[in-house]
Amino acid sequence: MLMGLGNLILAALLPLSTVDSLPPQAPPSNPAGIGTAADANALRKQFRFSEAAAIYKRLLIVNPDDPKLNFDCALTLYLQASNEDDAAKAQELGRQARVYALKAKSLGCEEPLNESVLSLVHEDGTITKNTSMDPDKAVDAILQKAEQAFSKGDMQEALKNYQAALALNPKNYAATLYSGDVYFSWKDYGQAVVWYERAIALNPDVETAYRYCGDALSFLGKHDEALGKYLAAVLTEPRNKLAWSGLKNYASDLNREVQKSPLTLPKVSTETKGGNVSIVADLKSGTLSQGYALARTQWIKDHPVAAGGTYRHSLAEEASAIRMTIRLADDLKGAGPEDPFAKSCATLKAMDSEGLLEPFILLDAADSGIAEDYKDFLQQHRGLLVRYIRKYRLDLP
C-alpha cells in the first residue's frame, strides 16, 4: 500500500474523505469562540494545521466521545507534526496524534487513514519518515523535496520536483500519482485524471490511482466512470480497507451505504493428526455447521496433497463444501426446528444460482489460503466479481 505523507495530506484535502463507516454524531454544542468542525476542516485544507487542531481540541472538550472529531484531530496533529522543524515539538505533536487516533479507534472508528496514523506514529510520538520512492538515490532525493513542498502547501514547487523526478525516471509511479494529486489540489480534475491514468498504466496492481481517479471523475460529474474506477480499486486490492473507501463515498453520494457482507460461514477449526487434516465444528453449532465441516474434510480426503506439500484451504474446497451444505439444508427443510445456518444457506443458494458464490467467497469469506486463488479468478471472471459487489454490497442493478 502506498501511503506517504502526501497521500495523507491529499486525503485531508478531499471533501469526500471522512469517516464513512460511522453513523453521524449529534452536532456538538458550540459555545461562542470555539469554532465549528467545518471551520477546522477549512483551515486544514489551507494547511493551517495548528489552528485547525486547536478547534478540534476545543470541540472535543464538549464532545469527547465523537469518533470523527477524534480522528480529524489525530490526522491534523499528525500533519502538523510532519511539518514541524523542531524535533521535540514534532514528537509531542506526534504523541498527541497517537492518543487521539487510539481514542477514535476505541470508539469504533474504522477509517483506514486512522490506522495509517497509528502505523506511522510510534508510541513515543516519533514519526516514520517517508520510505524510499525510487531505487536511484538522485531521483529519490528529488521526490523527498517534492513531498516536503507538498506537505507545506507549495504545490508549484512540488510539481516542479515531481516532474524533475519523472525526467530522470519516466516510470516512477509515485511521481506520476502525486503529479495528479497536485492538479487535484488545484481543482483541475481533468488533468488529475490524465496523471492518475498514467499511474494506473505504470502499475495496475496498486489500488490508489484507481481510487483517486474515481474521486476526480466524481468532481467532473462523470459518476458512472467514477464507479468503474472505484470498483477497479477494490478488485485490485480487495483486502485493503482503503480500496473500499471510494465505493463508500460513491454510495454516500447516492444516500446509500456499502452493505456489510451478507452473511458469515460456520466457525470451524482445522486439526491435523498423523498427517491427516480434518475440519471440526463445535458440537453445539447445529446440523448444517457440522455438515459443512464434514464436507470440507471429505474434500480434503478426496484431494490429497502431493508428497512434500502442505494443505491449503482453497476456493475449490470452500465452494464444494458450501454447495454440499446447501443441498443438506434443502433435505432437512421442514424436518424439525430451523437450523441457525438455514437462512444463510438460502442466501448462498440464491448467490450460486447467479454464479456469484465464488465471488462471495473471494471478496467476503477468504482467508489467506483462499486469497491465493483470487488473481486467477479475477483474470477469468472479472465480470462476476463486479456483479457481486454491485448487487450484494451496493444494492445496485
Q: Residues 78-125: pLDDT tens digits?
A: 999 988 989 999 999 999 999 999 999 999 998 888 998 999 999 999
Please state which of the ranges 45-49, 87-91, 202-206 shows the lowest mean pLDDT: 45-49
pLDDT in tens, 16-46: 433 333 333 444 444 445 789 999 998 998 8
Q: What is the mean pLDDT of residues 157-178?
A: 97
pLDDT at 29: 44
At residue 306, does pLDDT exceed 60?
Answer: yes
At residue 293, does pLDDT exceed 50?
Answer: yes
* Cα–Cα distance for residue pair 247/133, rounded to 1 Å: 28
pLDDT in tens, 366-388: 999 999 999 999 999 999 999 99
What are the backbone dihedrals phi and psi of residue 365, each rounded to the nearest 5 degrees, phi first? -140, 25
At residue 55, does pLDDT exceed 50?
Answer: yes
pLDDT at 336: 64
Query: How confident is the prediction for the chain on average, in pLDDT?
Result: 89
* Cα–Cα distance for residue pair 336/258, rounded to 1 Å: 36
Instruction: Please give the distance of CA 222 from its chain centroid, rounded to a whole number.
Output: 23
Domain ranges of the chain: 5-120, 268-393
Q: What is the mean pLDDT of residues 167-173?
A: 97
* Cα–Cα distance for residue pair 93/81, rounded to 1 Å: 5
At residue 238, does pLDDT exceed 90?
Answer: yes
Non-local (6+) Cβ contacts of 336 within 8 A are none
pLDDT at 152: 87
Q: What is the mean pLDDT of residues 251-274?
A: 88
pLDDT at 82: 87
The number of C-alpha atoms within 13 Å of 330 and in the hemisphere containing its C-beta is 10
Exposed, middle or buried, 370 (CB in 10 Å: 0-12/13-18/19+)? buried
Please state which of the ranges 164-173, 259-268, 334-343 shows the lowest mean pLDDT: 334-343
pLDDT at 45: 86
pLDDT at 255: 84
Non-local (6+) Cβ contacts of 396 within 8 A are 390
pLDDT in tens, 124-143: 999 987 678 999 999 999 99
Q: How far is CA 40 from CA 35, 49, 118, 342, in A?
A: 7, 9, 21, 50
156-174 burial, b at 16+ Cβ within 10 Å, e below that, comes to: ebbbbbbebbbeebeebbb
